[in-house]
A and B are shown apart, each in its own frame.
Chain A
Amino acid sequence: MAMPDRRRFLLGVAALLPLPFVARRFHGLAVQSFDPAILRALADAVLPAELGPAGTERAVAEFERWLAGYREGAEILHGYGTGEIRRTGPSPALKWSAQVRDLGGASFLTRTRVERQDIIRGALTGLTLNSLPPADRAPHIAVGLLAHFYDSPVATDLCYNARIGRNSCRPLAESPRRPLPLAPRS
């Protein structure tokens, strides 16, 4: 059996057995199964064009890094007011890998941006979507990609056209100043 076929077979089996241990075992395999070209075509369709090719590539690379690093069953921060210990849920990679395939494979790459957006709209039909969920709980990989990007400091800076640099180490003395605008893209 050729390697891609074996992966597809195993992923199919995993999808039929949604047991936590199966999901854990197959997370890595599912992540590897993503076609990088399709993921980039998906990002090009759903992320803002203003990011440009380099910005989109950075967003996808960050998403890939994030997905690869996902750990099931890790303890989530327990805040004040509760003694409950909660854990991260199943990896979304299994579900998403099937969705990537459903986008149409190589033919997805040949579509225009608008056509790809139409395909994604079709794929999201029937889902209740309003606010962006946490990326790991996104019902579709397109939503996961959007949620991951829009949760980033890069997205905040882009929205406000300002070098806020949220969650990064920045001199305290600069905090009283209005953040500088982003440099114009060449």
Chain B
Amino acid sequence: MPRRVVESDVCIIGSGIAAAMVAEKLAEERRLSITVVEAGEESDRLGARTTLRRRYLDYGESPWQNDHLDGYDVPGIQSRSMQVGGLAMHWGGVTPRFSPEDFKHRSLFGIGHDWPISYDDLDPWYQEAEERLGVAGEQGPAALDPRGKPFPQAPLPLSYNLKLLQDWAARSDIPMWSQPSAKNSRPYRGRPACCRNDTCFPVCPIGAKYSPDFTWDALRRAGRVTLMPKTVVRRLTVDGQGKRIVAATAVDRATGNQIEFRARTFVVAGGYTWSSHLLLTSRDSSHPDGLANRSGLVGKFLTGHRNVGGFISLPLELFPGINEQHSLVSKKFMRLPRGDRYIRHDLRVWESSVGKEPRLADSAGRLLLGDELLADWRRRAATGTARVRAYYDVIPDRESSLTLHSSQRTPWGDPLPVLTFRDAPESIAMREPTEAAIRTLFAEMARAGNGQVLSTRSDNFQDHPAGGCRMGTDPAASVTDAWGRTHDHENLFVAGAPTCVTGGCANGTLTFCALSLRSAAEIGKEFPAR
């Protein structure tokens, strides 16, 4: 059967939030044709989300039943999401920036690695990302929260609960403010203001939270992109000199037919897993270790951050449920290390009902029915609970990596990836004192409010994963340059998360978007302006 050929100026592989940023900027600013190739299905339409949310609330069902592919059960992966819009279809919409220190670990603290760009370099791209996503944010104290321009939207207001919790944190001399979020505090770019449905993660039923489908819908309506779902790109092929990518070979999952995508520029935007995976599976006789891999670092230095969370009982009259998914944030501990050792982390506080839930039996084990159960709950709920969490950064190890599985294959016969996250030795040494310092902080905060720590825990995985195609100036020590262009192939870019050198100590999505926009600006230089 002849293979179908699709030609465009730019071919973007993946349709998550990084791809959406690249496509939107290019389509707005340049005259060019764009094809977007997505392995997963179309995501459910906005109109269906009220019903899907209801089933999530009632039964715990995923509102995104079609967001992954069978046969892609990848060891070590942290989310199976693969659909139009990617993982950002069910993100929480939390959009902090990294801090300036995140880009200068080696220079400032003598550990880890510096990025090839500084916070100041990225500031305008952060701003652009915030404007495109529609971030509602509050300017924190300037020394803790530097930024070049105001947020595009006023902050989500602090709820009655968060105001009380902000006062509580202030007793420990911790300034906290409204967490920046890609949730509208007013109607913005055709989407309504948030009305506290409080299921931002996993689904906003009204579209007040940004998700990439809005970008794709707008671009497709305007005829600015061709988006092809259910199409798995399996290989990139290079020209005879190995300098340029000439085609991306894919399979149409619906028919099994092959499709060849040809373009002047290729953008791999498959996130921290599928970007490295595609480069590795594109190996050929001239590139036995995969494409863009002269450094041997494709799939290496996977990064993220760890966290310590907890619940603190406080003698405050709180009303859980006013706006549960919105939090306070502080960068007090993120800007500079604490004490003599390198200890950095962010800090967040949410309202919570943990430890105050209704229960079936009292402390003596007596079954509670009828009025007794409600009375018991009321007694327990008379005081409040704060949920606290601190993300602390992890220095990635070189062998924190994505490799190709020796035997397990995708339905198309390609090796599945295997992900193994590892902390660098200096990071392992930091882990215990960092977690101890965070637990001590929680205890101090509890004491300052005459409360008590109910529980603490650390997740046993690196959250908000990134890396695998880290950026740098030295082609021997990085996969892409500071714009996301691969060192080895002049028309091949990697967008967003994979290019991160470190994972910072805050959610990475806004940083991924800012990096993607920066890449788009560089890609756009080869095409005429609109």
Does A186 count as interface, using CB distance less than 8 angstroms? no
Q: Is the CB of B369 within 8 A of A175?
A: no
Please provide the chain B residues from 337 to 373 with a CB less than 8 Å away from any CB of chain A in the complex.
357-361, 365, 367, 369-371, 373
Q: How far is the CB of B156 from chain A (nearest CB, A)?
A: 7
Does B68 count as interface, using CB distance less than 8 angstroms? yes
Please, which residues of chain A bring their CB within 8 A of the CB of B62?
74-78
Q: How far is the CB of B96 from chain A (nearest CB, A)?
A: 16
Report the bound CA distance from A153 to B370 in whole Å. Answer: 18
Q: Is the CB of B321 within 8 A of A164?
A: yes
Q: Is the CB of B78 within 8 A of A82?
A: yes
Report the bound CA distance from A81 to B462 in whole Å. Answer: 8
Please, which residues of chain A bring their CB within 8 A of the CB of B79?
78-80, 82-83
Count B-side interface residues using an 8 Å CB cutoff. 59
Q: How far is the CB of B343 from chain A (nearest CB, A)?
A: 23
**Given known A66-B58, A175-B196, contact A77–B361 (CB-CB < 8 A):** no
Please, which residues of chain A bring their CB within 8 A of the CB of B56?
77
- Contact size range, A: 35 or more
Q: Is the CB of B160 within 8 A of A175?
A: yes
Please provide the chain A residues from 43 to 58 with a CB less than 8 Å away from any CB of chain B in the complex.
45-50
Q: Is the CB of B60 within 8 A of A81?
A: no
Q: Is the CB of A75 within 8 A of B196?
A: no
Secondary structure dominating the interface of B = loop
Does B388 count as interface, using CB distance less than 8 angstroms? no
- Name which of B77, B78, B358 has the most chain A CB atoms within 10 A of its CB: B358
Q: How far is the CB of B459 from chain A (nearest CB, A)?
A: 6
Please, which residues of chain A bring their CB within 8 A of the CB of B285?
none
**Given known A71-B59, A121-B367, A171-B195, contact A131–B359 (CB-CB < 8 A):** yes
Task: From A88, A142, A165, give the contact of B60 (CB < 8 A).
Answer: A88
Q: Which 4 residue pairs across A and B have the least CB separation, nearest first? A: A166-B321, A83-B77, A48-B374, A169-B195
A-contacting residues of B (Cβ < 8 Å)?
55-63, 65, 68, 73-74, 76-81, 156-160, 163, 185, 193-199, 202, 206, 319-324, 357-361, 365, 367, 369-371, 373-374, 377-378, 381, 459, 461, 463
Using A78-B80, A170-B195 as known contacts, list a sample of 15 further A-B pairs with CB atoms less than 8 Å apart, ordered by residue number in A: A46-B370, A48-B373, A74-B62, A77-B56, A80-B79, A81-B463, A83-B78, A85-B68, A117-B369, A130-B365, A150-B377, A153-B321, A172-B156, A172-B185, A175-B158
Q: Can you offer 24 A-B residue contacts whose CB atoms are under 8 A?
A: A45-B370, A66-B58, A76-B62, A78-B62, A78-B81, A83-B74, A83-B76, A88-B59, A117-B369, A120-B369, A131-B359, A134-B60, A136-B59, A142-B369, A159-B374, A160-B381, A166-B321, A168-B197, A172-B157, A172-B185, A175-B158, A175-B196, A175-B322, A176-B159
